[in-house]
Structure 1
Amino acid sequence: MMFNILIVDDHPMTVDSYINLLTENNYQNKTPDFIKSYNCEDAYNKINFYQKQNEIIDFALLDINLPSYKKANINNGTDLALLLRQKFPNCKIVLLTMHSEPLTVDKIIKSLKPEGFIAKSDINFELFPIICKKIMDGEIFRSQTIIESQRELFKKNINWDNHDNHILILISEGVKTVNLPDYIPLSMSAIEKRKASIKDQLLQGKGSDKDLIEKAKKLGLL
C-alpha cells in the first residue's frame, strides 16, 4: 500500500533534499511514493490526476512562493493547499515559507488551518524529518518564527478576522477601495466600515491609504 507525498517547490534541489530526508521515515508498513512538482500548473494537474485515478494524496509539503497558474487562478502554495483541502480532505498539509509577516501568517492560518506551518529559517536537516513525522502522526506544528509572528499580532491588539486582513493586504497591493468587492464577498458599505475601523486602530482615523500602508509596514504587519 502506498503513502502518497506531494512535494512542491520551485527549486528541484530542495525537492530532492526533502525526499532524501523523508525516505527513512516509518510509514507504518506503507511504501512512500513521492510526487515531485516545481510550479503551480504542474502541481494542479497532478492533484487532479490523482483524484481522477481514485488515489489519495496523504501528505503535502508546499512552498508558499511558487510560479503561478493564472488559467486556474492558482497563484501560490496557499491556493494549492486550498485545492488539496477540497480534493483530499484528509491530506495533512505543511506550508513552508521564507516570509513571516504577521497579517499574512494570520490570514493563512485562519483560512486554511494547515497541519504544519514552518518558516524555512527555523529548520535544519536533522529537525525536518522529525517534525514531518509528528505531523503525519496527528500533531499540529507551528515553527518558532510563525508562533512569534502570531504573538506580534496579538501584542499589537490587532486580532482582526480574515476579511480585515485581506482588505489591508489588497490595499497594499494597489487595489482601489471601489474594486475590493471583486475580491472580498462583502458589500461596499461593509468593506468601508471595516476599512474605517482599521484606520481607527492604526491611524486614529486620520490619514490616506498610503499612510495606512506605511503604518502597517512600520508595525511589521505587512
Structure 2
Amino acid sequence: MNKIKIILADDHQMILDGLSEVLRKHQDLELIGQFPNGKEVIEFVKSNKVDVAIMDINMPELDGISCAKLLKQDFPEIKIIMLTMYAQKSFIDEIIKLGIEGCLLKNNSGKELHDAILRVQSGKYYYDKIKDFTDPTEEIASYKLGEREIEIIKLLAEGLGTNEIATKLYISTHTVSTHRKNILHKTGVNNTTQLVQFAYENHLI
C-alpha cells in the first residue's frame, strides 16, 4: 500500500506532537517531516516528495498563507490543509481563492483530520466545516470588544508593554492591565501570544 506522505508545520511543539500522534494511528499515512515555520517547509519539499502539507496560518519567518502561495506556484501537486484557531469566514474566502484544498479548526478531532487528508489527496476539497466560520464583523461584535480594547490589542501586537501602552494612551498602568484582563476573558485566549494570533486572524493588525 502506498502511504500518503505528510508534513506538518506549526511553531508550537505541543501542536506538532499532538498532530503527529494522531497521524501515526493511521496506517495509510506516513509523517515524513515536522517544521516550525514555512521557510523550512519550502526547503524540504525541494528535495523530498510530499503529498499533503498541513500548516498553521501563523508562523514565524514564513507564515502559512505565504508558504501556501509558494507551494501553489512551484509545487502545485502538493495538497494543502490549513489549520486555524479561530473561525473566520474571510479567512476561508482567502484560502479558497489561493486554491488551497482544505481547512480545519485546530479543535477538530483526529478523525476529521484523517478524512480531510483522504479527501484532498483524492483531488477534492475539504470545507465541510465552512458553516462554522463566521463573518469577521460578526465575530468581532460577538466578543463585544470596545474601541479602546481593540486599540490596546493592536499595541500589544506591536510588542509594547503595559508601561509603554499606558504612556502612549495617557492612561494608568492599572487601567491597561484591567483592559488586558477583560480582553483575554472576552476572546477566550490565555496569553498575549494567543491574543496576537487572534488579532492577526481577525484582521485587527
TM-score (norm 1): 0.53
Instruction: Verify: 1:116 aligned to 2:102, yes or no.
Output: yes
Q: Structure 1: which 5+ residue stretches go unaligned?
A: 69-73, 154-172, 174-219
2:52 maps to amino acid: F
Q: Using the alignment, how far apart are the partners of 2:117 and 2:3 within structure 1?
A: 17
Contact 2:104-2:113 at 8 Å conserved across structures: no
Superposition deviation, residue 87 in structure 1: 2.5
Q: In the alignment, what sits opposite 1:6?
A: 7
Superposition deviation, residue 5 in structure 1: 1.5
Q: In the alignment, what sits opposite 2:84?
A: 97
Contact 2:42-2:71 at 8 Å conserved across structures: no
Instruction: State how 1:30-109 maps to structure 2 within 5 Å.
Output: 32-48=30-46, 50=47, 55-68=48-61, 74=62, 76-109=63-96
Number of aligned residue pairs: 141
Encode CA deviations 1:25-52: one digit per residue, 9 max, x unaligned: 353xxx724211012332232233x2xx
TM-score (norm 2): 0.57
Superposition deviation, residue 120 in structure 1: 1.8
Residues 131 and 2 of structure 1: is their aligned pair in 2 closer, same or farther, counting only changes over 3 Å? closer
Q: Using the alignment, how far apart are the partners of 2:121 and 2:66 within structure 1?
A: 21
Contact 1:103-1:221 at 8 Å conserved across structures: no
Superposition deviation, residue 2 in structure 1: 6.7
Q: Secondary structure at the match of 2:133?
A: helix
Superposition deviation, residue 78 in structure 1: 0.9
Q: Using the alignment, how far apart are the partners of 1:103 and 1:8 within structure 2?
A: 22
Residues 4 and 87 of structure 1: is their aligned pair in 2 closer, same or farther, counting only changes over 3 Å? farther
Superposition deviation, residue 16 in structure 1: 2.3
Contact 1:58-1:91 at 8 Å conserved across structures: yes
Higher mean C-alpha deviation, range 87-96 or range 2-11: 2-11
What is the RMSD of the two structures over their aligned residues, measured on CA atoms? 3.0
Residues 104 and 42 of structure 1: is their aligned pair in 2 closer, same or farther, counting only changes over 3 Å? same
Q: In the alignment, what sits opposite 2:131?
A: 147
Q: Secondary structure at the match of 2:50?
A: coil
Contact 2:3-2:27 at 8 Å conserved across structures: no
Q: Structure 2: which 5+ residue stretches go unaligned?
A: 137-153, 155-201
Residues 99 and 77 of structure 1: is their aligned pair in 2 closer, same or farther, counting only changes over 3 Å? same
Residues 100 and 127 of structure 1: is their aligned pair in 2 closer, same or farther, counting only changes over 3 Å? closer
Percent of residue pairs bearing the same amino acid type: 27
Q: Secondary structure at the match of 2:110?
A: coil
Q: Using the alignment, how far apart are the partners of 1:131 and 1:26 within structure 2?
A: 15
2:127 maps to amino acid: R
